[in-house]
Amino acid sequence: MRVVSTLSSAVVIWASLFVAEARAQCSAKTPSTQAVPSVSGGAVTLFDHPNIDRYWVSGQLNIIGQGHPTFHATYSGPNSLRSEAERDVSDVLTLYTGFEATPCTEVIVDAESAGGRGISDALGLAGYTNLDVVRNPDIGATPYVARMFVRHIIPISHEMAGSDRGPLEFWGSLPVRRIEIVAGKFSLVDFFDNNPVGGDDHLQFMNWTVDNNGAYDYAANTRGYTDAVMVEYDDRHWAARFAEALMPKVANGIHLDADLARARSENIEFELDRGLLPKRNGAIRLLTFVNHADMGNYRQAIYEFRAGLVSTPDVTLTRQQGRIKYGFGVNLEQDLSPDLRAYARWGWNEGRNESFAYTEADRSIAFGGDLDGRLWLRPHDRLGLASVTNFLSGDHREYLALGGLGFILGDGKLNYLPERIIEGYYTFHLWRGTFASLDVQRIWNPGYNRDRGPVIVPATRIHVDF
């Protein structure tokens, strides 16, 4: 609560200092009649979105078909990736709407429907193969409000810079130096741990730990959204952002805990918009997070099992309000040529307390790149290749080896090795906002278990931006 009070005071001070200038500077935008042909990844859309509109209406449809053949498994448990051949289709339909309430304030409301259970009901892999699949398939495809937030700009400079309009920010230009305040319902990874090379499962990679930092146990319900307040400072070549967010009441739960004194998440990221190579665009992002929640502890669950208090270790029986999970992340992007980009991520969390909101990975290292299709005269095509390796802490791996279950993993036993994944894709531009992709993932030691796999997971994807 002290953090929230301090943050609120700072916001009030900044607002009072710059409110007059804010009115002038936010109004200084020069309207353009040029239509915006893109929503994400520089890809054209079915319908244009003029810069002069105070309203935003667009949508996306993403359909992914995935499967795998039979693979070797010495044994399987209740949370294993099934070793027999299987296939499944997921679909996500999102309607984005927005309204510019004032020259400095926009209101975003997005509705979404997510269907399909995913292969093995989204179990058995820390680096699960389809980011569109909801981690709890039993909640069904009933439409829901995905995002509902207010975004306010406080300008600090007169100089303006162009901004790419899109469904989460539809201003055509923004002050070079500014404060942004976002409050409401959204996904933390809408703003944190972004990466244009590995971060869009609708046109690029599909794997959870390729598109996001696997060790970033970011606050979210099972659909990936939370209620939060974020404050961001942007300057010409750097930015810093802080968010206070609600945690789910239970691991992978749909309901959020609204008592900040009991459960919450603090997230801080510093971004430097400079590449590692001279005269090439790039960025470096440094992330830290601290989650407070009713978490279990792997070591305590192991102790209770070895003491004969339970027949199988169960981390959910050791939950205690106020436990903390913290971690760090590094996120890099780098242009190597006008058509070739590379990225890398490293993540670490303390690994003693229960994985709670994203996936069961305590360490993660990912790197890869993509190539623009302009080289072969298809400027909206893209080819990508990435590799990710996920790791468990000692307590976490011992818990699983003794037969414990996490909310994603649990083979009944564990012959531990890091989980390694290579993913490649090619995205074809078919017509305006319509795309098709071919994707393949090869996974060694699924669920960190050398007694299972390897497994190959091919996929096809149809994506429509409108």
Which pLDDT does position 5 carry in this prediction? 42
Which pLDDT does position 48 carry in this prediction? 81
Region class of 15: left (phi > 0), else alpha (psi between -120 and 50), else beta: alpha
CA-atom Rg of the chain in angstroms: 22
Work out the average pLDDT over 374-386: 95
**Would you say residue 462 has pLDDT above 80?**
yes
CB 301 within 8 A of CB 273: no
Which pLDDT does position 401 carry in this prediction? 98
- DSSP H helix total and E strand total for the chain: 4, 20
CATH superfamily of 2-28+59-465: Carbohydrate-selective porin OprB (2.40.160.180)
Distance CA 289, CA 193 (A): 11
Distance CA 227, CA 185 (A): 4
List residues bridging with 61 in a β-sheet.
Answer: 93, 464
Distance CA 25, CA 20 (A): 9
List residues bridging with 144 in a β-sheet.
Answer: 112
Pairing of strands 105-115, 144-155: antiparallel
**Would you say residue 9 has pLDDT above 80?**
no
DSSP at 317: G
Of 5-14, 99-108, 252-261, 451-460, the least confident? 5-14
List residues bridging with 74 in a β-sheet.
Answer: none
Residues above pLDDT 90, as percent of the chain: 80
**Would you say residue 158 has pLDDT above 80?**
yes
Local structure of 200: helix, strand or coil:
coil
Which pLDDT does position 363 carry in this prediction? 98
Local structure of 5: helix, strand or coil:
helix
Higher pLDDT, 161 or 327: 327
Sign of the C-alpha dihedral computed for residues 391, 335, 171 and 44 taken in this order: negative
Is cis: bond before 167, omega within 30 of 0? Answer: no
Work out the average pLDDT over 81-88: 97
**Would you say residue 4 has pLDDT above 80?**
no
Distance CA 410, CA 421 (A): 19
Reported as a single tens digit per residue, the pLDDT across 194-232 is 999 999 999 999 999 999 999 999 999 999 999 999 999
**Would you say residue 35 has pLDDT above 50?**
no
What residue segments make up the domains of the chain, in order of their start?
2-28+59-465
Instruction: Give one DSSP letter per residue of 98-124, joined into a string.
Output: EEEEETTEEEEEEEEEEE---GGGG-S
Mean pLDDT of the chain: 90
Work out the average pLDDT over 396-413: 97
Which pLDDT does position 408 carry in this prediction? 95
CB 64 within 8 A of CB 114: no
Tokens of 65: 């078909």
Distance CA 385, CA 366 (A): 11
Report the predicted TM-score, pTM, of the whole model to 2 decimal places. Answer: 0.89
Distance CA 370, CA 378 (A): 14
Q: Where do we find the tokens 């078919």?
A: 430
Residues above pLDDT 70, as percent of the chain: 90
Pairing of strands 55-68, 44-50: unpaired
Work out the average pLDDT over 145-172: 89
Which pLDDT does position 137 carry in this prediction? 67
Confidence class for position 366, pLDDT limits 50, 70, 90: very high
Confidence class for position 22, pLDDT limits 50, 70, 90: very low
Beta carbons within 8 Å of 137's beta carbon, 6+ residues apart: 116, 117, 118, 121, 122
Region class of 265: left (phi > 0), else alpha (psi between -120 and 50), else beta: beta
Work out the average pLDDT over 49-68: 89
Work out the average pLDDT over 244-257: 95
